Chain A
């Protein structure tokens, strides 16, 4: 019932994505593809990291950061706009909908955008680097990460009342995570205290997990578990906000 209702909640956001598919894809892919060209073919040419050429090392990182940026920007902005500008978010509370269905439903838009973008980047990666491989464990991690970061977006959307607040959250939390969580370089190269801080953030674990799965060096179960903890934590926060906090 909750699952079926969550798809009902998501329907209008999926309509928006279908209606604006080319714009959604362009805005999701331009950044990651620029990283690929600038860092992969530019700065990183001839470099090796952890025994792999830099391109092979970096592409899983770019996929990881895409899960964060695509999911967060889609759900956070959508929820904030629907709450404060369109005020259409209210309509969800006028039906006999379980708050868990609303939480999940609002996350699906970000997930869909992330999965399409990651699929394209994954295919590009498989075509240009021989070290990368297609694994179900990588797909599983991309799915979990997309859901988790979409929920983080829902939290931000519920707590922000303007684009300015949203830009602050993006500038202070999302952008630093994007660059520092081992997506473009190995976190092991940093001092111990910096590593401790970065390993407290979910994207570091997502990156490790996706990278190890795509490079075939095993599956980082700890990373998967930490991301799962973040998923459960953000789900509980979202649920609380739907039931009490912002109504």
Chain B
């Protein structure tokens, strides 16, 4: 991809991020932070890619740790967020807005 296209995507994504998160009730700050935290676990994909062209034990090691770290970030992040939010949704009261 052309660098300039990538920069365009970067800038637009930054604005989307700003817009999408504005005016969030305080209650949801922690779960939301935890959810976005899980999303940056996407770097794990980088680990999957670089381990493919590893040609030494050191790189095998680096790649495996990177994948494991990324996966902890993804799985742990989404699960913990779900647990937190599960506490709110367990008892939906009629009439409560």
Q: Do A and B come from one complex?
A: no
